[in-house]
Amino acid sequence: MPINITMPALSPTMEEGNLAKWLVKEGDQVSAGDVIAEIETDKATMEVEAVDEGTVGKIVVPAGTAGVKVNELIAVLLEDGEDASAIDTSGGSAPAEKSGGDKVPAVPESSSAIEVGAKAATDPVPAPKNADGDRIFSSPLARRLAKLNGLDLKALSGSGPHGRIVKRDIEEALAAGTGKAAPAAAEAPKAAAAASAPAAGPSADQVLKLFDKDSYELVPHDGMRKTIAKRLTESKQTIPHFYVSVDCELDALLALRTQLNDAAAKDKEGKPAYKLSVNDMTIKALALALRDVPNANVSWTDENMVMHKHADVGVAVSIPGGLITPIIRRAEEKPLSVISNEMKDYGKRAKERKLKPEEYQGGTTAVSNMGMMGVKNFSAVVNPPHATILAVGAGEKRPVVKNGELAVATVMSVTLSTDHRCVDGALGAELLAAFKGYIENPMSMLV
């Protein structure tokens, strides 16, 4: 029977995407792992790989369609020996609705020979979530087969692209007799969920009635802006923020940066192998500080304190319509030159919306640097699951007292925002003291 291809969830926060381009056409043969489409999410443009093999029987959602909901039918794949007449558009589950308003008939998936006497269900199986609420990535066919055969996807490992659970993983679990589902727990009352949900913002009518009709124009929110609004609202409503600030002298760091950049090897065209920025050295200093103060390199859960073994530092990058936070993994272990080149690559691809989810999801802390915009100091919002974020201001000439005498130094103000549930004031101060030590004694970052 035909196999549904649905809009995948390419990130835990994705609710809809734009189908930018089809890389296959009806009648093409595809195999598991083949790139079949490009999807624009709220953060990036992603390539989508097939998780089953067959022939593209019908493309339901055309290229260029915006606002396609996750799990909405976008195409139908035919198995060997089938033709387009096998696509049943007369029955099955309720039709999915395209962004343009037309009704798209749902098509039953292949039931597979491994269904052990179970009746084929036509209702789509929702994507399951693990104990932390994160979506378990799996193909629609794998979810359906797991449901029919009583398997728990949380107990299985995926062999598909990016760890996605596919049909062969279900077959192997059935053959080995593993992955049986535990009895389902009762659902939490909807009232409790509604009570814990963030408060909605004002309606358009409430806002617009305050202004003259000729004094404004309406610009619809895109997916990125909606995601930013949702996550920051949840952060400020659910995380008790605490702030610690300190001033750091930059003169020694600026001098060392100049020496290191002058010493960079050059290629045949005279292009240096790296060009360090103050931001690159800030990333390294924060990573080393977290290594030295491991109790601050944590994430909060209701059951446990997550103690991270490495400092994965996210760096806020401004892009049209919002921002994105690519992550320098294991930054405490990387030379400054590597951090610098990674950031230049991430920054370029972020503006082109070409980052992969694994390049901007996760992390253990973050840096938000507005110094290049002339901002003296500010406080950033913690981005869960992080427990800290460092807001970096501009380096500027200020009067300071040294050895009892007035002098002039280049000073940078930084503010650490913390999740007070796991990083309290004393621990935040200890982390900032370690950070300040690396900034003001930058040679220590090279050993």
Query: Catalytic site residues?
Result: 420
Q: Which two tokens stand for residue 166?
A: 């596919």
What are the angstrom distances between the C-alpha of 104 and each of 56, 87, 98? 17, 13, 7
CA pair distance 40, 162, nearest whole angstrom: 18
371, 395 contact by CB (below 8 A)? yes
Neighbouring residues of 26: CB distance < 8 A, sequence distance ≥ 6: 56, 57, 58, 59
Angle between the N-to-C axes of helices 278-292 and 425-440, in degrees from 0 to 180, rounded to the nearest 10: 130
For the chain, the residue count is: 447
> CB neighbours of 368 closer than 8 A, spacing ≥ 6?
316, 380, 389, 390, 391, 392
- Give me the sign of the Cα torsion angle 259, 260, 266, 271: negative
Measured between alpha carbons, how far is 334 from 430 in angstroms, rounded to an integer? 23
Q: Please name the amino acid found at residue 134.
A: D
